[in-house]
Amino acid sequence: MGKLVTEMLKGTLEGIVLAILSGRPAYGYEITAWLREQGFSDIAEGTIYALLVRIEQRGLVDVEKVPSEKGPPRKVYSLNDQGREYLEEFWRTWSFLADRLEQLRKGGK
């Protein structure tokens, strides 16, 4: 993947992370690893941490510091009510966009 996906991730990566957190609490390192497994081969570590800080400051997640057996303590994030609401708004916006795109793809060729 290249620059194309990088640009597309702007705005969607946030929703992706919130969607992950809606399933289960998680910490940054874990999320990064999971994303890489899913094929987002070149998502930068720093990006995830910065994103987590952002959504924390917006009050979309709760944070708990949990000691790790191997390494420094983990910051475990979990989606709160406000975050869940925001996630739904995200899905609405995403559906809107995806619908237009799908129509364009069909009509365009």
Q: Please tell me whether residue 31 binds a second copy under the rule CB under 8 A.
A: no
Query: Rounded to whole angstroms, how far apart are CA atoms 49 and 47?
Result: 6
Pairing of strands 74-79, 26-27: antiparallel
Q: Shortest distance, CB of residue 12 to DNA, whole angstroms?
A: 7
Residue 94: which of DNA, a second copy, none does it interact with, CB under 5 to 8 A by kind?
A: a second copy
Instruction: Taking the CA atoms of 9, 87, 53 and 27 in sequence, report the sign of the dihedral they define.
Output: negative
What would the DSSP string read from start to end of 36-65? HHTT-TT--HHHHHHHHHHHHHTT-EEEEE
Binders of a second copy: how many residues, by CB under 8 A? 35
The span of 46-54, 82-90, 99-107 binding DNA (CB under 7 A) equals 46-54
Site residues, a second copy (CB under 8 A): 1, 4-12, 14-16, 19-20, 22-23, 38-40, 89-91, 93-94, 96-98, 100-101, 104-105, 107-109
